[in-house]
Amino acid sequence: MVTDSAGQPLPISKLTGVTLPKIGKMHWRKSRQSQGETEKAEREDPGRNDEVGREICALLRHQAARRGQALPPGMQLFRVEIQYNDGKLKERKELLFAE
Amino acid sequence: MRNSDTPFKRLLAGFFSPPKVTPLEGFLLRAFFAVVVAYTFRFEVPFPTQAHPTGLAHLFDLTWLSNPASYSMFRGIIYFLLFLYAAGVLLPITLPLLALGHVLAFTLYNSQGYTHHGFQIVSLTLVAQAGTVLYDTFCRGVRLRPPDALLNSWLLWQSQVVVVGTYLISVFSKLINSRGLWLWNSSYIATDLIKSRRQLYYGSLDSNYAGDPVEAMWLLENPWSARALFGTGFILEAIAFLALANRKIAFVIGVALILMHRSIAGLMGLRFDNNEMLCAIYLVGLPFLAAWCLYRIGNPTVRLGVLIGIAIGIPLSYFAQPAAIQVAMPLPVYVGNLIESLDVWHNGRVTDFLRFTLPMWMTCVAMALAGAISARFLGPIIRKPRLQN
């Protein structure tokens, strides 16, 4: 999920043409590629997360600009996990990067 | 094959003989597929880098496609090649170029760090058709005129192989990735439905996607029903190859696959436009049905007149559009927008679609009538047409 600095979700697909699943795949692939080895990719490096986050935000801003849109400063990238336990859905948000 | 053969023998025999394709069906197969290929080029590929190259992007810099001027010229060439392809001329040249062009554009698309396999079925079909034509050229010599009955049959058959093959690959990848437990674990797919729905909502803030789908919640609470439902789709994908046996089975499987994609779109919001369109063309057999209808016109010259009338009617409908549309878009853009209006396949905005395309339908009907009447009276002095039984 991509939010503004206050944590409000941004309609990023409409603004950039890049969907959330694509952003998720991009983050996973960039993180994995930078670490070189698949095993290491299981343990995420916070420093590299920042680098990947900056790259993704730059790409999103570029795509938005091509569409004549502007993204707010201070964007945040969240990973959202959904779990189903005891008949209830739980959503857990983890901040990956904040500009 | 004898009539006394058992159904099993008849089914088996179907796998070893390509379907018979008339020249008119062959033309309609190419024309319909050309429209689908043009439809896939409605997107630009606005990526100035290829930071995560895949396939040919390892060998070539494809970022020139992100330049709007270059892409516009590239797309113009593709449209011209598609026109030649639909007409059936120069296939040993046009098909390999089309396949290469499609692969290049969507390789850049897939070199951004995320994969999107929605266009691969179209690229693969073009590659298969190009391979078929090149093999035919190798075996029987260069043929630049429209394909004969044998080549038409093989083009259809190989395209069907690609379409059903993509579903078989999906079955194998599911089994391999889940270590054979896909069916058992399929009850958890309902969580994926909810995840996809929430991604759609968070990515668009469209209230249509707010809240969790009731169906997904029900499936979460009823895991055996979920396994039965998703298992049906899994089995359908596994037996899709039976469509190669004959047209009737292909029709049933084609319709079933389209319904499966529709239900996925309804539940998860995931689009499979290209798959659905190729199923409609190569499995359901829309070109076959259209050709069958046109062959009801007994006189071949009149039939040709109808076809020419329809072909002329499409661009001519530009002048039947309201002045506002003529001012807003030049003729080539108008034809492009007609192709893009196929988006109704997914968005369901039938009223908007009809409002925009109604002048085209009316013009085509009028021109088809004019073509039929002209052919009826001018027929005796026109050369014998090739589009006949």
- In terms of domains, do B245 and B351 share one? no
Phi, psi of B147 (to 5 degrees): -65, 150
- In terms of domains, do B133 and B79 share one? yes
- In terms of domains, do B254 and B123 share one? yes
Residue B30 lies in a domain: yes
Report CB contact under 8 Å: B191, A13. Answer: no
Q: Which residues of A touch B203 (CB under 8 A)?
A: 11-14, 19-20
Q: Residues of A near B (CB-CB distance < 8 A)?
A: 1-2, 9, 11-14, 17, 19-26, 29-30, 33, 55, 59, 62-63, 66, 80, 82-84, 87, 89, 91
What is each CA distance from B27 to A57, A87, B41, B97, B200, in whole angstroms? 47, 55, 21, 19, 39
pLDDT per residue as tens digits for the range B328-361: 889 988 998 899 888 888 777 888 889 899 999 9
Domain that holds residue B138: 19-177+239-294
Residue B150, pLDDT > 90, answer: yes
pLDDT per residue as tens digits for the range A66-78: 888 889 988 999 9
The predicted complex's ipTM stands at 0.86
pLDDT per residue as tens digits for the range B267-276: 777 788 899 9
Q: Are B95 and B108 in contact (CB under 8 A)?
A: no
Residues above pLDDT 70, as percent of chain B: 96
- In terms of domains, do B250 and B324 share one? no
Phi, psi of B115 (to 5 degrees): -105, 145
- In terms of domains, do B146 and B168 share one? yes
Question: Closest partner residue to A30 among B113, B195, B203, by Cβ?
Answer: B113
Quick one: pLDDT at residue B45? 78
- In terms of domains, do B290 and B305 share one? no
Extract long-range pairs of A32-35: CB within 8 Å, 24+ residues apart. Answer: A33/B52
Quick one: pLDDT at residue B386? 57
Quick one: pLDDT at residue B282? 96
Q: Strand A76-85 vs strand A2-3: parallel, antiparallel, or unpaired?
A: antiparallel
Residue A46, pLDDT > 70, answer: no
Could you give the strand order of the β-sheet that contains A88-98, starting from the edge strand earlier in sequence? A2-3, A76-85, A88-98
- In terms of domains, do B256 and B342 share one? no
Residue B34 lies in a domain: yes
Report CB contact under 8 Å: B112, A21. Answer: no
- In terms of domains, do B107 and B247 share one? yes
Residue B378 lies in a domain: yes
- B374 CA to chain A: closest CA distance, Å? 49
- A32 CA to chain B: closest CA distance, Å? 11
pLDDT per residue as tens digits for the range B182-192: 888 888 888 88
Quick one: pLDDT at residue B121? 94
- In terms of domains, do B103 and B68 share one? yes
pTM to 2 decimal places: 0.83
pLDDT, averaged across chain B:
88
- Total structural domains within chain B: 2
Q: Which residues of A touch B218 (CB under 8 A)?
A: none
Following DSSP, what letter does each residue of B101-131 receive, concatenated? HHHHHHHHHT-SSS---TTHHHHHHHHHHHH
For chain B, the first-to-last Cα distance in angstroms comes to 23
- In terms of domains, do B355 and B280 share one? no
Q: Which of B111, B126, B160 is nearest to B41 (CA)?
A: B126
Residue B95, pLDDT > 70, answer: yes
Residue B157 and residue B129: Cα distance in Å, rounded? 10
